[in-house]
Chains A and B, each alone.
Chain A
């Protein structure tokens, strides 16, 4: 399914500084950024370029100083902290680099956390979580602890946890960096499928150029700014430059 032209995330001139005085580090220096509904968008760039800071701002987990951040039409700038928390609770799903599964909880219990936070009853939450784990290929393993699973399986549990409350925005921080190539590819296929939902947007921060091919678009960052936006057609936005998408096999031959 093609990405719609409706914007899921609309960011203009956002700045963020960590620290004060001489130790101050400007992580975002007036970032403009858009993500569309129904697309899988990757934010890429070298370490320290501000990718994770931008992701945190989009997710509403980090305040910013200036600029405008709109997520599904809601401006985060005007929201009180409680409203931002409420927004995250309902609309954002998270997939972390280190999975962040709670080791003492079973897979089902880990997955049902967002539902419980949203006020869903325990029984219903556990049923939905078990069903989602089944769909993600973890049939019958819901009562196991995360330590019994491989990295790929743990990331699948994390994906289930990110999707169980049906969020519109899924935020992924280096989802494949702790996985081998094949498992990473499988996880990206899964995320690719998730992003096909017309009302959902998946934003992935990654260093891993092996997975770039799974993105609809790539936002390239450098030194706290968005440098270029690449799409599958080979366009690289107004700043030009070579496409980060790998050439198709057809072109190579």
Chain B
């Protein structure tokens, strides 16, 4: 009977297209917006993937990775002296203006790395040598920086080229790949000492301290020890990640904006699918009543409706997922807008679409369940 149920559905082209279209749209909206949202959230924690450290020591009022409050230079030694700390290095982070060849300015994220260890160095060096960053006026620029700062030049910036960073000459000694900054600024790495020379002098210049627990110390124990000894806040990598994410949930309208669109997708999908499927069932009520009169049980009719509903669900989801994948591939190639699709996202959307379909089928099943087979004898 199920193949006949599908033929009944496919025979009503307009409703079939409407159902599949509605579910495709819902899938597209929910998955694409969620992927952009996750991508954006991921960008908020880009510092952590670009610097990679087990312990992040910051001012005790700092709640997230993009809003650092400067520490005193001596604080790095206080962290080093805390029990359970294997090593600790200073990092300076600031937004500086880079001057383009055409006279325009672009902001860059300047990261000052510990001169000796270069802890917090960029994850992937594409051209040049990391160690050359210790040369005078040297910087390592990421791919986005090369693209952005090359504006107005005859050819893209490369190794050995210079540009103005806060009115001082910066020479590119390496090009790296780094995760995209939340605000879209290119990452520019220098040594800690060099970074302090690029940036205007302030009373406190240390942004944060990266540290690692001593052997035998857990991350939590070492973090507690640092906090107890220094009065600063010591985050494990995981803690800072979630603290940053939740900070954006609590303090920005980003989650609400995205959630409302995702919810809209769910509502539109449910409404279109539910209403269309209900109309389909309503129009076929006489035929379904005839099937019931002929001995089709409520269970069989319910299963037929479920097969119809889930079939359009699979098709709609499949088309929507394909479109999102195509969108994702195109934006990932361009680098923006943000896009991140962990496996949980398509699975979640799939379950949502199947939920919509089950709900739609349920409306129809309720109707069919209640019809008397004698309906077929009424003119």
**Which of A's residues lie within 8 Å of B, judged by CB?**
52, 55-56, 59, 61-62, 82, 85-86, 88-90, 92, 94, 96-98, 100, 102-105, 109, 113-114, 116-118, 122, 173-174
Shortest Cβ distance from residue B292 to the other chain A in the assembled complex, whole angstroms: 8
What are 14 A-to-B residue pairs whose CB atoms are below 8 Å?
Answer: A59-B293, A61-B372, A61-B373, A62-B373, A96-B377, A97-B377, A102-B287, A105-B7, A109-B4, A109-B7, A116-B1, A117-B1, A117-B300, A173-B376
Q: Flag B36-78 by CB within 8 Å of A: 1 or 0 each.
A: 0000000000000000000000000000000000000000000
Closest A residue to B13 by CB, please name it: A104
CA distance A98 to B294 in the complex (A): 15
Check A94 against B297 for contact (C-beta < 8 Å): no
Say yes or no: is B351 at the interface (Cβ < 8 Å to chain A).
Answer: no
Shortest Cβ distance from residue B5 to the other chain A in the assembled complex, whole angstroms: 10
- Residues in A whose Cβ lies below 8 Å from that of B294: 88-89, 92, 94, 113-114, 117
CA distance A82 to B296 in the complex (A): 10
Closest A residue to B296 by CB, please name it: A117
Say yes or no: is B256 at the interface (Cβ < 8 Å to chain A).
Answer: no
The residue among B286, B293, B379 with the most chain A CB atoms within 10 A of its own CB is B293
**Which of B's residues lie within 8 Å of A, judged by CB?**
1, 3-4, 7-8, 10-12, 284, 286-287, 290-297, 300, 372-374, 376-379
Check B296 against A62 for contact (C-beta < 8 Å): no
Closest A residue to B291 by CB, please name it: A113
Check A62 against B372 for contact (C-beta < 8 Å): yes
Check B4 against A113 for contact (C-beta < 8 Å): yes
Closest A residue to B289 by CB, please name it: A100
- With contacts defined as CB atoms under 8 Å apart, how many contacts are there between chain A and chain B in the complex? 81
Q: Beyond the given A62-B372, A94-B376, A117-B1, could you list 4 further A-B residue pairs with CB under 8 A, ordered by the A residue number?
A: A52-B377, A104-B11, A114-B294, A117-B300
Check A104 against B12 for contact (C-beta < 8 Å): yes
Closest B residue to A110 by CB, please name it: B4
- Residues in B whose Cβ lies below 8 Å from that of A86: 295
Check A94 against B293 for contact (C-beta < 8 Å): yes
CA distance A90 to B296 in the complex (A): 11
Cβ 8 A contact of A88, one of B7, B287, B295 = B295
- Residues in B whose Cβ lies below 8 Å from that of A56: 374, 377
CA distance A59 to B374 in the complex (A): 9
Check A103 against B11 for contact (C-beta < 8 Å): yes
Cβ 8 A contact of A96, one of B11, B297, B376 = B376
Check B293 against A114 for contact (C-beta < 8 Å): no
Check A117 against B291 for contact (C-beta < 8 Å): yes
- Residues in B whose Cβ lies below 8 Å from that of A96: 290, 376-377
CA distance A86 to B372 in the complex (A): 15
Check B295 against A85 for contact (C-beta < 8 Å): yes
Closest B residue to A88 by CB, please name it: B295
Check B7 against A173 for contact (C-beta < 8 Å): no
- Residues in A whose Cβ lies below 8 Å from that of B377: 52, 55-56, 61, 96-97, 173
Check B376 against A100 for contact (C-beta < 8 Å): yes
- Residues in A whose Cβ lies below 8 Å from that of B10: 104
Closest B residue to A93 by CB, please name it: B294
The residue among A92, A96, A98, A109 with the most chain B CB atoms within 10 A of its own CB is A96
CA distance A116 to B4 in the complex (A): 10
CA distance A109 to B10 in the complex (A): 14
- Residues in A whose Cβ lies below 8 Å from that of B12: 104
Shortest Cβ distance from residue A105 to the other chain B in the assembled complex, whole angstroms: 6
Shortest Cβ distance from residue B340 to the other chain A in the assembled complex, whole angstroms: 43
CA distance A62 to B289 in the complex (A): 12
Check A114 against B295 for contact (C-beta < 8 Å): yes
CA distance A147 to B92 in the complex (A): 79
CA distance A59 to B11 in the complex (A): 30
Check A61 against B4 for contact (C-beta < 8 Å): no
CA distance A173 to B292 in the complex (A): 16
Shortest Cβ distance from residue B6 to the other chain A in the assembled complex, whole angstroms: 10
